[in-house]
Amino acid sequence: MKLFLDTANVEEIRAAAEWGILDGVTTNPSLVAKEGRDFMEVLREITAIVDGPISAEVVSTKASDMVTEGRKLAKVHKNIYVKVPMTTEGLKATKILSGEGTRVNMTLVFSSLQALLAAKVGAAYVSPFIGRLDDIGQTGMEIIEEISTIYQNYSFKTEILVASIRHPIHVKEAALLGADIATMPFSVLEKLPRHSLTDIGLDRFLKDWAKLPKK
């Protein structure tokens, strides 16, 4: 499973990249706004840090404008995936962009039927928002299982990118379901290598080692 960071913060991306486990980055307009920096500048910096898929989202709502915006974003770097929202205009734009060879990440997906449509228009990635479904009392992870079954039934090549991850259990469940990618905030990614027994064990090893008589 590929692990992506869901952030527009270059310091977080740099730190995770050094751990050797970062496969890509997803951004969205809210994450970019949080940084308060020029989007294109941030995007270029990210491409210089991570050699993997980097999602950049369009903010237009009309298909023709999404296509223009998507083409511009795709030109920034060969690793850019254009994020397009799941609307009928978004479907039209995705069909055009993917037809031209631009890889599209269809976002704001909350049902397996929406995911079916994303695959039909040739999206490279589909981004179901798990945490936001949990927030409204619906088990988000259920749609990952459904999407996976639907994609297998028809041999769709669209990859399932589990988004809106809130904690490590989401990452584990996504992996158990065979999702292609999980994108998460830095606060979740940094929890993955941690275990209290690892800390206790290491502390004990080092203390025992220190007891050895020194020559």
Give the residue numbers annotated as catalytic, written as ranges. Answer: 83
Figure out which of the listed residues 3, 4, 6, 12 binds ligand G3P, where binding follows CB under 6 A.
6
Q: Does 12 bind ligand G3P (CB under 6 A)?
A: no
Using the contact rule CB under 6 A, the part of the chain among 66-74, 128-136, 152-160, 188-196 near ligand G3P is 128-136
Interacting residue with ligand G3P among 10, 32, 163, 174 (CB under 6 A): 163
- The pattern of x and - marking residues 58 through 97 that bind ligand G3P according to CB under 6 A reads ----------------------------------------
Output the CA–CA distances (angstroms, integers) from residue 150 to 39, 141, 211, in the order listed: 35, 15, 59
- How many binding residues for ligand G3P (CB under 6 A)? 9
Whether 5 contacts 189, CB under 8 Å: yes
The amino acid present at 210, given as its one-letter code, is A
The nearest distance, CB 183 to ligand G3P, in angstroms, is 6
According to DSSP, the residues that pair with 85 across neighbouring strands are 107
Name every residue whose Cβ is closer than 8 Å to that of residue 136 and which is 6 or more positions away in sequence: none
| 142 vs 203 by CB, closer to ligand G3P | 142
Question: Given the structure tokens 């890889």, which residue do they identify?
Answer: 103
| Contact (CB, 8 A) for 26 and 5 | yes
Answer yes or no whether residue 28 interacts with ligand G3P by CB under 6 A.
yes
Phi and psi dihedrals of 95, rounded to 5?
A: -60, -45
Select the span of 34-42, 88-96, 129-137, 202-210 touching ligand G3P (CB under 6 A): 129-137
Nearest-angstrom CA–CA distance, 7 and 22:
12
- Exactly one of 29, 52, 131, 168 binds ligand G3P (CB under 6 A); that residue is 131
Distance (Å, whole) CA 109 – CA 92 = 16
Instruction: Assign residue 16 a region (left: φ > 0; alpha: ψ between -120 and 50; beta: otherwise).
Output: alpha
Is there binding between residue 9 and ligand G3P (CB under 6 A)? Answer: no
Query: Which position among 74, 164, 171, 179 is part of the footprint of ligand G3P (CB under 6 A)?
Result: 164
